[in-house]
Structure 1
Amino acid sequence: MKIGIEAQRLFRSHKHGMDIVALELIRALQILDTQNEYFIFVKSDSDNTCLNETSNFHIIEVPGKNYVFWEQIMLPIYAQKYGVEVLHCTSNTSPMFMSTPLILTLHDVIFMEKTTEKNTSSNYQKFGNLYRKWLVPKVVRKCKSIVTISEVEKNNISKSLDLSNDEITVVHNGVSGRFGIKPSIETIYKVRKQLSLDSDFFLFLGNVEPRKNVNNTVKAFVAFAEINAEVKLVITGIKPSFVADILYEIGKISYLNRFVFAGFVAENVLLTLYAEAKVFLYPSLREGFGLPILEAMTFGTPVVTSNISAMPEVAGDAAFLVNPFSIKEITNAMTIAYKNDALRNEKIALGYLRPNMFTWQKTAEKMLNIYKGRSPEVLAI
């Protein structure tokens, strides 16, 4: 069987959630399936060594600078050229017009939902959301299979797009085996020196999207920092000015030096930050899954996350669950996770077990069955 996988942004240097999911799925499929022939359709970019070809996995670089042109025009041409019998589109959208049976991974329908929060997205993100809002309701009617990443999101998709639950299959994300391996002393020293981390710190993976709840997280940490002078907060993906504006608003700009701005971090740095953080903060307002919860747990790092959306489905009873709209609750959970040894150790122990439920091998097995038109729960090979 010839299977096509759309992975347009796989080679870009700064990979985000959906790119990482696609990469890990393909790597797992390479281990699992040596029988079928795969064509991985990518766009040329700088990180072209993140995935290697094997005898039955071919990397096809498809030209086309514009995202929409690449997907709607060039991808169908190349899928037909290589004779794929099914095409898996991995990142929420797919071509409108093609005869090849389509499988769409619809990670979430956040782009369909109205919000009262200020839109801080970039122009690129705003265009992407408009494109998805226009396209997705149309293409889901044309797909052979629709896959999503959590039961919560399955219900959201069903309601937003007027689909029955039977039309949507849940295939959870997984955790890479690279997580949970303790970094070397030399690596820890290097990362700590690079970020001037000479004390305990919490970790927060930031993003300017309102759903990431940066505003409440910053305010909650300031309240924590007022009575815990020894702890800093490492934030990735956000500029200092973004946090400074929040601190000015609440009259706490003097606390800016308690924040460490790491920018975009490479995976080796992220692994070290997960391993060394005293607490991982993930009080998001809305997630399709929440993979960083599991990634932090593999290192025995206690997690503070939200009691809404997909977070409880992923975290189970292994995290400190909070109302993400309550600054006080987030602060209290930080304090307990940091200072209450009994509860902290209980969550750590449960956290070590949780990632075993979510592996990329299981993800790949289920997707392979979907490619073959079988139930995702039967044996893959």
Structure 2
Amino acid sequence: MIAAIDGRLANRTERVGVGRYCAEVLRALPEAAPDLALRVYLDAPPRGDFPLTPARAEFRVLPPARGWTQRRLGPALRGDRPDVFYTPTLQMPLGCGCPVVATVHDVASTRFPEHFTPAQRLTAWLRLRQALLTAAHLVCDSGSARDDLLGLCRLSPERASVAFAGCAPEFTAPPAPGEAATVRERLRLPERYVLYVGRIQPRKNLPRLIAAFDALLARRPELPHHLLIAGGDGWLPESSHAAARAAAQAPRIRFAGHVPDDALPGLMRGADALALVSLWEGFGLPVLEAMSLGVPVVTSNYSSLPEVAGNAALLVDPLDTDAIADALETVLTDGARREECVRLGHAQAALFSWTATAESIARALRNAARRA
């Protein structure tokens, strides 16, 4: 069975969010589904760090073009006639000539339209509408995302399944000798810090996290911590930057920009806590990775995040700045609670794997091809 895959996001210089998801799924698929012949479509030759080699997949490099999905990928799929096509996003050609399986990471633009630009809302609506009308099956990152599809989009239950994301080996392996010092020098890290990882965009709720950090240091001025925000600007980042500039503790709030994949485990391992208090997440990969590394987590009690964190993190109302500050104070000052978070976090993170993710996606691909 030939499974065609849009692998472009795994071939980017900076992999964030869905790019990291795409790379890990591609890395896991050959072992998880040896019966599938993988044919990966790209708009540039595979980079040296691409997760698959020619020994494990066939590559089709199509010339770059504006509207590549429709102008290049669609005609190629119709000509090549694979048994099934998988896209790790909702971006798909209007006609593929084969059944389509897509991953839905969230429907945040439907739930929180005010946090997206008009162009983003329109694009997201068009892609979601096309997926609902034409995809044979939709794979969701979480039960929360699937519930939204069924409820908000009135999708039939049999057309959607859940495949949780996983944790890459570098987040489960022990640190390399000298890793802490190397990463600290490379990224010029402060000695003690609370860490946020992710793009800077409204739904990440950074102004409230910054306000909570400010409030925490006002009540506990002896704490030496900085707030380290690791991630590049996404869309509408201005409010987050403005909140940091206006904070009383502005000198101790740092925007570190995008952190390369090879430095991310060391950056996380050096944190005293990870804080991800998003208004909405399709999964929340940094929560899982931090728990796997033994870093206590403060996260939201909304959307998918309770599914990922289980009972291993401090869950807070992301709209309640005082609650966020209280949780940060607990994980930074209560040794017994920190130890409990670390112990439970290791156990919770062990429940997730990219192999299981790839197996679930492969099952959806086989079923879609057989029903065609």
Q: TM-score, normalised by structure 2?
A: 0.91
Native 8 Å contact 1:6 1:41 kept in 2: yes
Match for residue 87 of structure 2 among 86, 89, 97: 89
> In structure 1, what is the Cα distance between the partners aligned to 2:251 and 2:241?
10
Native 8 Å contact 2:113 2:121 kept in 1: no
Q: Does 1:169 align with 2:161?
A: yes
Native 8 Å contact 1:207 1:214 kept in 2: no
Aligned residue for 1:99, secondary structure, equals coil
Q: Does 1:246 align with 2:243?
A: yes
Q: Deviations over 1:299-326 (max 9, x none)?
A: 1000000011110011100000001111
CA shift in 2, pair 1:235/1:114, >3 Å: closer
After TM superposition, give the deviation of residue 273 of structure 1 in Å: 1.1
Q: Does 1:72 align with 2:90?
A: no
After TM superposition, give the deviation of residue 156 of structure 1 in Å: 0.6
After TM superposition, give the deviation of residue 241 of structure 1 in Å: 7.7
Residue pairs, 1:28-47, within 5 angstroms? 28-44=28-44, 47=47
Matched residue, 1:379: none
Residue pairs, 1:159-198, within 5 angstroms? 159-198=151-190
Worse overlay, 50-59 or 104-113: 50-59
> In structure 2, what is the Cα distance between the partners aligned to 1:109 and 1:242?
22
Percentage of pairs with the same residue: 26
> In structure 1, what is the Cα distance between the partners aligned to 2:35 and 2:56?
7
Match for residue 351 of structure 1 among 327, 342, 345: 345
> In structure 1, what is the Cα distance between the partners aligned to 2:120 and 2:7?
16
Worse overlay, 264-273 or 194-203: 194-203
Matched residue, 2:334: 340
After TM superposition, give the deviation of residue 31 of structure 1 in Å: 2.1
Matched residue, 1:24: 24
Aligned residue for 1:10, secondary structure, equals helix
Native 8 Å contact 2:99 2:368 kept in 1: no
Instruction: Output the amino acid matched with 2:101.
Output: I
Native 8 Å contact 1:305 1:322 kept in 2: yes
Q: Deviations over 1:151-209 (max 9, x none)?
A: 11111111222212222111111111111323334231122123433521111124332
> In structure 2, what is the Cα distance between the partners aligned to 1:244 and 1:74?
39
Matched residue, 1:299: 293
Instruction: Output the amino acid matched with 2:242.
Output: D
After TM superposition, give the deviation of residue 128 of structure 1 in Å: 4.4
Aligned residue for 1:245, secondary structure, equals helix
Aligned residue for 1:146, secondary structure, equals strand
Matched residue, 2:193: 201
Matched residue, 1:102: 100
Match for residue 134 of structure 2 among 142, 150, 155: 142
Q: Which runs of 5 or more residues in structure 1 are unaligned?
A: 376-381
Query: RCO higher in 1 or 2 (8 Å CA, sep ≥ 6)?
Result: 2
Native 8 Å contact 2:77 2:97 kept in 1: no
Aligned residue pair count? 364
CA shift in 2, pair 1:185/1:36, >3 Å: closer
Q: TM-score, normalised by structure 1?
A: 0.89
Q: Deviations over 1:254-302 (max 9, x none)?
A: x222123211111122111111100000111101111111100111000
CA shift in 2, pair 1:100/1:14, >3 Å: same
Aligned residue for 2:350, secondary structure, equals helix
Matched residue, 2:320: 326
Instruction: Output the amino acid matched with 1:319.
Output: A
> In structure 1, what is the Cα distance between the partners aligned to 2:360 and 2:198?
31
Instruction: Output the amino acid matched with 1:11.
Output: N
CA shift in 2, pair 1:275/1:166, >3 Å: same
After TM superposition, give the deviation of residue 238 of structure 1 in Å: 4.9
Q: Deviations over 1:3-59 (max 9, x none)?
A: 101122221111121111111111111223333311011221784532332435112
Matched residue, 1:261: 255
After TM superposition, give the deviation of residue 329 of structure 1 in Å: 0.4
> In structure 1, what is the Cα distance between the partners aligned to 2:8 and 2:79?
17
Native 8 Å contact 1:244 1:256 kept in 2: no
Aligned residue for 2:188, secondary structure, equals coil
Q: Which runs of 5 or more residues in structure 2 are unaligned?
A: none
Aligned residue for 2:319, secondary structure, equals coil
Matched residue, 2:111: 113
Native 8 Å contact 1:92 1:108 kept in 2: no
Instruction: Output the amino acid matched with 1:59.
Output: F
